[in-house]
Amino acid sequence: ADDKIKSIALDVCLRLQLQTSEVCSNLIDFNFPTVAYIVKYSNIDSRTLCSLFMEFNFCNVKNANYNWTLEIDSDGEAVTAPKSEIPTKNGNELKVLHITDLHYDPLYTPGSLAECDEPQCCQRDVEFIESTKAAGYWGDYRDCDAPWHMLDDAFAQIKAEHTKIDYIYQTGDVVDHMVWGTSVEKNTESLKKVNTRLAEIFPDVPIYPCIGNHEPHPLNLFSPGDVPDGVNTRWLYEQLYEQWSTWLPADTKNTILEGGYYTVSPRVGFRVIALNNNDCYTSNWWLFYDGTNKIPQLQWLHDTLLAAEKAGEYVHILTHIPTGDSTCWSVWAREFNRLVERFRNTISGIFNGHSHKDEMHLYYSANGHAVAVAWNGGALTTYSDRNPNYRLYHVEDESMQVVDHETWIFNLTEANSHGDSKSPNWFKEYEFAAEFTTNLSPAGIDKLLEEMAENPNKLRTLWRYIVTSADPKLNAGCDRACLLGVICRIATTVSTQKTRCEYLRAKLSIALDNENIVTGSTAAPSTSSSPAATTSEGGDTSTEKPGGNGAVSKSISLNFLFVAVLFAVLYNV
C-alpha cells in the first residue's frame, strides 16, 4: 500500500512537471514515513489541516489544539506609549557579529552548470558549459549555495577587519538547498565542518547559534520527543549539543536535547535566549500532529523572560524565522508577539535570519505602539541573487540595545571576474545610523517608517540594502508593488495581522501617486533604469511563496506540494 501511494504521488509530480524524477522520488521517500505516522496517529481534522496550509482564512479553525493562548504574567504595565529610550552612541559599545544562512554546499564546483532543472545548481556538468551558464569561482547569483572557499574567506575577512568582537550570533541554516540529497551523515558533516572552523577562527569569542529549517533530515521536520526513532529529530539535537558545547555551559543540555533551544547569561545583567522557532514553520509537518506540543517552548520562554525581569537582566532573543513570515504559523506568532509586548522592557533585541534579506521587523503592541525591533542578518550564501553579507551590531553595554549596525558585502560579479587569482573585495555597504537614523529604538524605527512612507526614495535606498546591492536585483529594480511589499513586511510580525502594514501602505501609495503627478508618469517609478522592471522583491507577506523567502521558494514550495499530495492520498480526499 505504501509503495502504491508513493507511486501515485510520484506520478502526479512528474505529470505536473514539478521537478525532475530524482528530486520528486527522493523528496517523497524522505517525507513519507513522517507523513504516514502523522496521518495514523494524529487527530487533526480536515478544516484545521486546511487552515494550516498557507493559513487559509476560509477554513475557520475550531479545534482548540490549534487556537490556544499562553498563560502570561499579568503584573506588567499597560502599554501607553512606544518604547523610545535609546542610549547615545559613544564608541565604547560592545560589538556583536551576526552571521546567518551560510548554506554551505560541499559539492559546489566552479565552472559547473549554474542553470539547471533542480532546486540547486552549480554542482555538476563541468564540461561543455557555455561561459554564461558556468558557475563563478566565489559563488553564483543563480540557484547556487556557498562554496567552502568563499565561506572561509568570509571568516578570514571578519577576523582581519574586526579586531573587537564580543559575541557572535549564528541564526541558522548551515546546510545547503540540495533538499533531495540530504542525509543524517551529510547534514552532520556540514554542521561539524562549519562549527569547527568557527571555533578555530574565533577561539576566544563566545558563539551563540540557533537552528535553521535546513538542518534536519528530512528538511523542515522537527519532531516531538515521544515518537519512534525512525521519525525522530533527537539525533540532530544530540549532534548540535555535542558541537555547541564548545561555547555553551552544561546546563543548556536538557532544553537542547528536548527541542533545540537554550538560554545562557554571558555576563551579569545580560541573557541570551536561543529559540528553535521552526515550531512555527508550516512546512514542519509535525505541526499537523499536535498543535499543543508547540506550547512548552513558548511557555519556557515566558518563564525565562519573567525570571530575567525579576533579576534585572536585559535579553537578546535569537530565532531563525521572522515571525511575520507567511509560513510562520499565526497562532505561534501571535503568542510570541504577546510575550514581546509583555516583556518589552526586558527584551533589548531580537535577531533572526531565514529570508536572505538584510532587513528588520517592528513589533507593535495590541493598541498599536512600537515595542521591539527584530534585526535580520541577511545571508552569507548567494542563493539567490544576493551578494554575501554579514552584520556587525554596536550594542550599548548596559541596556544591551542596538545603537547602530553596519553591513559588509562583496560584489559577486567583480569577485568572479578575478577567479581564484584574487580574494573578494569586502567593503562596508552602509551604517544604519549614518544612512537612516541615529534613533534605533522601536519608536525611532516607527518614525523612520513614517518618513519612508512619505518619501519613497528613502525606502528605495533601504530596498537596495535589503537585497545587498546584488546586480540582478538592481538591474530588475523595485516597482510600486515591490515598495509596498517592503514597507508592509517590516511592519508585520503576525502574518494575519496587517493593521500597521495597511496604514503604511496607504500612506506610501499617496506618496507614489504624487510622484507620478510631478513626473507626469502613469506608472510607479522604479529604482532601475529599465522601465520594464516589475519585480516584487519586497516580500509582501500576503503574497510570499511557501518557504518564507523568494530565494528558497523553488525547493520548499515543491516539498509543500509533495506532502499535500501525500496527505490527500492518505486521507482518501
320 is known to lie in a ligand binding site: yes
Question: In the block, which residue shows the cell 565552472?
Answer: 111
418 is known to lie in a ligand binding site: no
Cα–Cα distance for residue pair 214/446, rounded to 1 Å: 32
Q: At what angle do helices 21-41 and 553-570 cross, to 10 degrees?
A: 50
Cα–Cα distance for residue pair 58/66, rounded to 1 Å: 15
- Write down the number of H helices and E strands in the chain: 17, 12
Sheet architecture: strand order including 314-318: 262-267, 270-274, 314-318, 347-352, 370-376, 360-364
Residues in the chain: 573
Cα–Cα distance for residue pair 374/363, rounded to 1 Å: 8
Whether residue 348 has a cis bond before it, omega within 30° of 0: no
Contact assessment for residue 440 and residue 373, using Cβ atoms and an 8 Å cutoff: yes
Q: How many Cβ atoms are within 10 Å of 316's Cβ, its own excluded? A: 25
The residue type found at 209 is P
Q: How many Cβ atoms are within 10 Å of 254's Cβ, its own excluded? A: 11
Contact assessment for residue 18 and residue 27, using Cβ atoms and an 8 Å cutoff: no
**Alpha-carbon torsion (134, 137, 141, 144), positive or negative:** positive
Cα–Cα distance for residue pair 316/206, rounded to 1 Å: 14
First to last CA, the chain: 16
Cα–Cα distance for residue pair 153/146, rounded to 1 Å: 11
Tell me the three cell numbers of residue 298. 513558548
Q: Please name every residue paired with 349 in a beta bridge, in sequence order, or none if there are none.
A: 316
Contact assessment for residue 191 and residue 240, using Cβ atoms and an 8 Å cutoff: yes
Q: At what angle do helices 442-454 and 499-519 cross, to 10 degrees?
A: 30
101 is known to lie in a ligand binding site: yes
Residue 537 DSSP one-character state = T
Residue 376 DSSP one-character state = E
Whether residue 531 has a cis bond before it, omega within 30° of 0: no
Q: What is the DSSP string of 95-163?
A: EEEEE----B-TT--TTSBSS-SSSS-SSS--TT--GGGBPPSS--SSS--B-HHHHHHHHHHHHHH-S
173 is known to lie in a ligand binding site: yes
- List Cα–Cα distances, 564 to 28, 32, 51, 174, 288, in angstroms: 11, 11, 13, 27, 12
Q: Which residues are annotated as a binding site?
A: 101, 103, 173, 213, 320, 354, 356
Q: Which residues are annotated as a binding site for Zn(2+)?
A: 101, 103, 173, 213, 320, 354, 356
